Amino acid sequence: MEVILFIAFPLILMGLIALLFFLYSPTFSTIGMGKRDVGLLLLGSFSTAFFNMPVFVYKDYLLAFNIGGAIIPLILSFYLIYHNRYSFAEILAGIIIVGASTFMVTNVTEHGVVSYFPYFLIPSILSFLLALLLYYRDALSAGYAYIVATYGVIIGGDFLHLPEIFSHPFEGSIGGAGMYDMVYIAGLISFVLAFLTARKRRRDRREELMEKIRKEINVAARFVDINKYGIPDDYARMLYSYSFSKLKKIAYEIEKKIGKAMKRCYGGEEERVLAFLIDSAIIFGLSVITSIFHVFGSFIKTMAVSFFIYQLFYFIIMEYLTSTTIGKSFFLLEIRKENMEKADFMDIFTRNILRFLDMFAFFYALSLIMIGLSSKKQRIGDFIAGTVVARRGECSI
């Protein structure tokens, strides 16, 4: 029963957050969390739970960060701090309190740093109580609770135990249990508790759909003559008179027409595949060179680990700094937001973390189908991140 509960608990928390987002998406927006960020937190962590990023390698010592269990929570927490402009003093105080409590309820064993029930709940409850004290019934309390729980648990449960961990040969990762790790679970628990006690605003599906139509029409109107495709400029205003069921049908038709009008703006399947093959060949070459030095043990192991690391860093760094990659530049393709503006770091990070989800979906097969069928030529990662692969020079702002 304990094993079943252990496996089900994080999945229940993830499902609850997904449900809360579906019901109260405007409140999530207040915190700075949209489809992209919730998708990163849930699907991104789920698909990368077994992938570790080495950060320290020396003889018999190897320390890594798990992507789903540590890197994603850390980056999402930093984004929330930046977006919501939380007080530095409040964040620091919360992290110190939660970090100290985590240190006291964790122990270093041969299996790594562990904490037992019910003690592992203490950091989450403390984070929630601090959020309640500082941001009573404010939606920002959920973001604050998530931040101090994540950073507090990593510092108190992992960093403060490093001297003890490195007292003998060690090979492991921070957040290594992925979505079952204390870092990840503590963040989810504290977020859910704080969110449930905050004032919430339910989503208005009709207004949400209307806003989506308005944005789609406004973006398309900047680049093409939408009247040629049967979409008047004031179509969004006209739709207020329709029932929601009819509105959905009309919205679908508008999206198809806009997709047809904007078709020249997006990179096609063949270009995307060839660009990816060119980039993969470059990454493969770098991996072969690294493997010669047997950094991570055998040639094959170093090859596999290097390819994984280079792929993640290559796409994120190249796309963030230049909006493209070497492969994409051959076909004049670049990454943009759906509104054709420059993609920011969280957009780029999310779409590339979700490459793992694309790979698991029959090794990009599902994504290729999505690119072929979707009006904006989006794979899974693009759809969640809200990005598109656009043709450079076409539909530029």
What pLDDT score does 74 carry?
A: 97
For residue 153, which of 185, 177, 178, 130 has the smallest C-alpha distance?
A: 185
In the chain, domain spans: 2-197, 205-261, 265-391
What pLDDT score does 234 carry?
A: 66
The dihedral through the CA atoms of 375, 377, 381, 382 has a sign that is: negative
For residue 47, which of 146, 189, 178, 177 has the smallest C-alpha distance?
A: 178
Q: What is the pTM of this model?
A: 0.93
Write the secondary structure of the chain as one string of H (helix), E (strand) and C (coil).
CHHHHHHHHHHHHHHHHHHHHHHCHHHHHHHCCCHHHHHHHHHHHHHCCCCEEEEEEECCEEEEEEHHHHHHHHHHHHHHHHHHCCCHHHHHHHHHHHHHHHHHCCEEECCEEECCCCHHHHHHHHHHHHHHHHCCCCCHHHHHHHHHHHHHHHHHHCHHHHHHHCCCCEEEEECCCHHHCHHHHHHHHHHHHHHHHCCCCCCCHHHHHHHHHHHHHHHHHCCCCHHHHCCCCCHHHHHHHCCHHHHHHHHHHHHHHHHHHCHHHECCHHHHHHHHHHHHHHHHHHHHHHHCCCCCCCHHHHHHHHHHHHHHHHHHHHHHHHCCCHHHHHCCEEEEECCCCECCHHHHHHHHHCHHHHHHCCCCHHHHHHHHHCCCCCCHHHHHHCEEEEECCCCCC
Tens of pLDDT along the chain (397 residues)? 455 556 788 999 999 999 999 999 999 999 999 999 999 999 999 999 989 888 888 777 888 999 999 999 999 999 999 999 999 999 999 999 999 999 999 998 877 788 888 888 999 999 999 999 999 999 999 999 999 999 999 999 999 998 888 888 877 889 988 888 899 999 999 999 999 999 999 998 888 888 888 888 888 888 888 878 777 666 766 667 777 788 888 888 888 888 888 988 999 899 999 999 999 999 999 999 999 987 777 888 889 889 999 999 999 999 999 999 999 999 999 999 999 999 999 999 999 999 988 888 777 888 888 998 888 999 999 999 999 999 988 776 6
Residue 107 phi, psi (nearest 5): -135, 150
Residues with Cβ within 8 Å of residue 85, at least 6 apart in sequence: none
Tokens of 354: 């979700």
Tokens of 181: 């790790």
